[in-house]
Structure 1
Amino acid sequence: MSSEQILEVYQESCKKHKTVELDIIKNQINDITNNMDHSTDLKLIGISVTSEVNETIEDLLKVTNFNTLILQHCKFTPETLNEFLNMLEFYESVCHFEIEMHFDDDDAWRCFCHACSNIMVLESLSFKKMDISEPYMRLLLNAVRSNPNITMLKFDSCGLDKLPSFYLVESLMMNKTLRELYLPSTGLYTKEAEVLARFLMNNTHLKVLDIGNNFIGDRGLESLAKGLCKQNTPGEGLSALSIFNNQLTEKCGPILSTIIIECKNLHTLNIGYNNLTDVVLNHISLSLSSTESLEGLGLQCTLLTCKGIESLAEAIPRNQSLQKINLKGNKAIQVYGVELLCQALTNSKINKVEIDETNRSSSDPDAYAQLVKKLFAICTVNKSFTDVTDNEEITNISQLISRKMSLSCEPKYTMPESSSSFQIDSPRLSPIPSPVPSPAPKSRFQIVKVTESGSSCSSTNVSPSPSPKPKSRFRVTKVPSSPDEEYSLGRFANVRSSVSSNDSMDSLTTLHLDSDDSS
């Protein structure tokens, strides 16, 4: 059926069931170009799903195949949610779930997991900003285990660190069907990195692992490397790893170098938004020269300068696999650094370099911009000469999956919640009206009311010294900073500090990969 015919079906259904035609659904129907290959998404965002709305959606599912179902902040009753999930299971017209809503009813979650088990066209499950308890996680993982077609799990900004012994990863240890696992912004620290290391030692079926925007630090990376370096058989093991914005420092350079050398199947590595500096490029330049698998390297916002680019430029001509590099956000790369890259790329297979097209901090912004254009032109030429080699089937699968991972970063700077902290709109600020005067505001400034004639009202905070007659009924008087304010201002001052999570970097003088016996 064409999009026009599908739209007519939907409109007739709305008339039949006496419900309002939703523009969000009509617009998505108009986007359908081919109704035979799951070419469009069904986004249900912020709508109230009644029984009548369910009837209209069912009429759509009878005649339309959708690629992704996005449920975001929709209002269901327990009855309508069960009806909706049963329809999805019956018609099997959705390949991917993206869920951002709360399941208030246990039966509704069971129904959802039951549908995931039985929808045989379902390939991926994505959850965002959801609290998934251990009982819920058990039901979900049972569904994943029983449906071999589910190859991707994503938990974005979900508090998985609260699960005992990181139950999610422990339960997937022997899973042979899952290929992609995304855990961004899930509050992972060193202890969770240790669990992931055990997972990688026992599971070589997973191809993509994303743990960006977490807090594993250098110690966590050291633990993770023990598992990664066990995957040293070509064609087996992880193909893409993203650890951007994880409080890594320049002291992890030897570990990153070892990972690049030892992981024979690693095609994509994103380590952006970490305090790596030029020291790390000095360490990994040798490994870049010897690796035969790494195709993409993400170095966005990693405090690189021209000195680090020198090391990278020396390694590029000796590398036979690297094709893409992301260097955006490194403002200290000047004209000299871009010149070195241009020279190095002429003898390489690199066909894409992401770098800032303009740099106002450069001593010569115009020359910088011209060199970047030259750099892009060289990449275009390299791309035209790139040969698609016929590798083994499993290697091609690994490369194909690894290319799903972007070398760009979307950092989220968050801090661990304190038990004593609360939001501005928290009811604890003023639970009930009180006749007791409020305490003085904890601010560096205090507004003091003065009389019309200019003399201040009685207040101990006003200076007794004479002052000119003010032009306002209010006077702003500077007061000392409070300890609470200093703490509040300092909470985010060192979000990207060199201090690794869970460990004091004062004691982190050297990092090495311990043997399994000593771990």
Structure 2
Amino acid sequence: MIGEKGAQYLADALVKNKTLTTLILRANDIGEKGAEYLANALLKNITLTTLDLSGNSIKSEGAQYLANAFANNTVLTTLHLFSNGICDKGAMYIASALNGKTNLTTLNLSNNNIGARGAKDLANALSNNKTITALDLAINWITDTEAQLFSDALCTNSTLTTLDFTSNRIGDNGTQSLANSLTKNTTLVELNLSVNVIGPMGAEHLAKALAINKTLTTLKLFANSVEDIGAQNFAEALINNTTLTTLLLARNRIGDRGAQCFADSLTKNTTLNTLNILGNRITAEGVEYLANALVNNTTLTTLDLSENRIPDLGAQHIANALVNNNTLTTLNLRLNKIRDEGIQHLSNALASNTTPRTLDVCGNGIAKE
């Protein structure tokens, strides 16, 4: 670790350097003082576009120095401050800078103990900011109340394209607020709401928004609890949605009924290319529905069914589909209950149809020779 002294040496070099564009100093224990040295250098440097200070305990004071720097720097576009303990006070300083003129486009504030006060300041800043395109607020303390504020911001913001709320406390009510904003927002293309205690009700709100929204291409809901009813709502939305290309619903308590719903939608949808339903409760029955859909689907390229309850019979259903499907290029079946018989079916299918594919069957019950 270089510590604050090392940061000082680098800062001195940055003042004179005319070529460096990216500086990564993750986990170097530079602290508040080190952040101050670097911030002062940014006021004079004219080439650095990316700065990563993740895991450096710069805290709120360090955030203040950096906020002042990027508010006055005309070159820096990407700032990563993951896990720095900046808390609400630090978020306030950063939000204040975002309210002014800045060239920053990518900001990572994940895992910073940002709560209601800091989230409110950032949401308000987002309403006015015209440069930020990617904002990462994962692993903080954002609840449904703050989600409403971000929803209001999304209704007026015209630049943000990627928003990450992974591992917060948004819940169904907060999800409803964000879903409402998706019916009006025309710029957001990726939304990550993984690990946010979202159930079937929240899924229903998002699904209704997808029926209207024309810009979102990626929706990530890893480790929530949308269950079969939520899967049904998403599947129905996919029938008419023409923009979503990636849907991640891993670990959501989806069973065979949910798989059947997705299978029905895959026979009609022509835009989804990635479906991740890893770690759910899908058996041979659910896989049969999906396999039948794959026979006619011509857009899905990646399907992740790992960590489900798929036996040899399920592998046989998939194998039958692969004989005629020329679109699916990545299939993940790791950590299921597939044994030698199922592997033989898959091998025969791959021999019959030579479309280049990636097949992962690690962690099944395949016998050793």
TM range (shorter): 0.7 to 0.9
Alpha-carbon distance in 2 for matches of 1:273, 1:51: 41
1:36-76 Cα distance to aligned partner (Å, 9 max, x none) = 6x455342543334379716982898376253423435246
- Aligned partner of 1:238 among 213, 216, 226: 216
1:95 is displaced (CA, Å) by 1.5
- Asked if structure 1 preserves the Cα contact closer than 8 Å seen for 2:287 and 2:318, the reply is yes
Alpha-carbon distance in 2 for matches of 1:63, 1:164: 36
User: Does 1:316 find its partner at 2:290?
Assistant: no
- Asked if structure 1 preserves the Cα contact closer than 8 Å seen for 2:76 and 2:103, the reply is yes
| SS of match in other structure, 2:187 | coil
| SS of match in other structure, 2:137 | strand
Matches within 5 A, 1:423-438: none
Alpha-carbon distance in 1 for matches of 2:59, 2:233: 49
| Matched letter for residue 114 of structure 2 | I
Residue identity (%): 21
1:292-333 Cα distance to aligned partner (Å, 9 max, x none) = 111110010111112211111110121121111111112x21
Alpha-carbon distance in 1 for matches of 2:70, 2:84: 17
Alpha-carbon distance in 1 for matches of 2:87, 2:342: 56
User: Does 1:201 find its partner at 2:183?
Assistant: yes
| SS of match in other structure, 2:78 | strand
Matches within 5 A, 1:135-284: 135-161=117-143, 163=145, 166-231=148-213, 236-284=214-262
The equivalent of 1:510 in structure 2 is none
Q: Which moved more, 1:43-52 or 1:255-264?
A: 43-52
1:156-214 Cα distance to aligned partner (Å, 9 max, x none) = 12221163672222222222211112111111222112212211222232211111112
| SS of match in other structure, 2:267 | helix
Alpha-carbon distance in 1 for matches of 2:246, 2:331: 14
Query: Over aligned residue pairs, what C-alpha RMSD do you find?
Result: 3.8
If asked which structure has higher relative contact order (CA below 8 Å, sep 6+), I would say 1
Alpha-carbon distance in 1 for matches of 2:356, 2:105: 35
- Aligned partner of 2:316 among 326, 330, 339: 339
- Asked if structure 1 preserves the Cα contact closer than 8 Å seen for 2:32 and 2:59, the reply is yes
| SS of match in other structure, 1:297 | strand
Q: Which moved more, 1:282-291 or 1:136-145?
A: 136-145
1:372 is displaced (CA, Å) by 5.7
Matches within 5 A, 1:13-24: 20-21=5-6
The equivalent of 2:363 in structure 1 is none
Matches within 5 A, 1:78-89: 78=61, 82-89=64-71
Alpha-carbon distance in 1 for matches of 2:222, 2:35: 46
Matches within 5 A, 1:289-438: 289-330=267-308, 332-346=309-323, 347-356=325-334, 361-362=337-338, 365-369=339-343, 381-382=355-356
1:128-159 Cα distance to aligned partner (Å, 9 max, x none) = 23343555334323443444221122221222
Matches within 5 A, 1:62-73: 62=45, 65-73=48-56
| SS of match in other structure, 2:136 | strand
Q: Which moved more, 1:338-347 or 1:130-139?
A: 130-139
Change (3 A) 1:339 1:67: farther
- Asked if structure 2 preserves the Cα contact closer than 8 Å seen for 1:246 and 1:274, the reply is yes
The equivalent of 1:95 in structure 2 is 78
Alpha-carbon distance in 1 for matches of 2:101, 2:26: 19
Query: Which of these two proteins has the greater Rg computed from alpha carbons?
Result: 1
- Asked if structure 1 preserves the Cα contact closer than 8 Å seen for 2:88 and 2:118, the reply is no
- Asked if structure 2 preserves the Cα contact closer than 8 Å seen for 1:319 and 1:348, the reply is no
1:437-474 Cα distance to aligned partner (Å, 9 max, x none) = xxxxxxxxxxxxxxxxxxxxxxxxxxxxxxxxxxxxxx
Change (3 A) 1:297 1:60: same
| Matched letter for residue 296 of structure 2 | R
Matches within 5 A, 1:474-493: none
- Aligned partner of 1:58 among 35, 38, 41: 41
- Asked if structure 2 preserves the Cα contact closer than 8 Å seen for 1:317 and 1:348, the reply is no
1:269 is displaced (CA, Å) by 0.8
Change (3 A) 1:75 1:122: closer
Alpha-carbon distance in 2 for matches of 1:93, 1:215: 36
| Matched letter for residue 208 of structure 2 | K
Alpha-carbon distance in 2 for matches of 1:286, 1:191: 29
The equivalent of 1:48 in structure 2 is 31
- Asked if structure 2 preserves the Cα contact closer than 8 Å seen for 1:45 and 1:74, the reply is no
Change (3 A) 1:369 1:74: same
Alpha-carbon distance in 2 for matches of 1:55, 1:177: 28
Alpha-carbon distance in 2 for matches of 1:56, 1:225: 44
- Asked if structure 2 preserves the Cα contact closer than 8 Å seen for 1:184 and 1:211, the reply is yes
The equivalent of 1:128 in structure 2 is 110
- Asked if structure 2 preserves the Cα contact closer than 8 Å seen for 1:240 and 1:267, the reply is yes
| SS of match in other structure, 1:281 | helix
| Matched letter for residue 176 of structure 2 | E
- Asked if structure 2 preserves the Cα contact closer than 8 Å seen for 1:267 and 1:294, the reply is yes
| SS of match in other structure, 2:224 | coil
| SS of match in other structure, 1:209 | strand
- Asked if structure 1 preserves the Cα contact closer than 8 Å seen for 2:141 and 2:169, the reply is yes
Unaligned stretches of 5+ in structure 1?
A: 1-10, 30-34, 385-519
| SS of match in other structure, 1:269 | strand
| SS of match in other structure, 1:100 | coil
The equivalent of 1:112 in structure 2 is 94
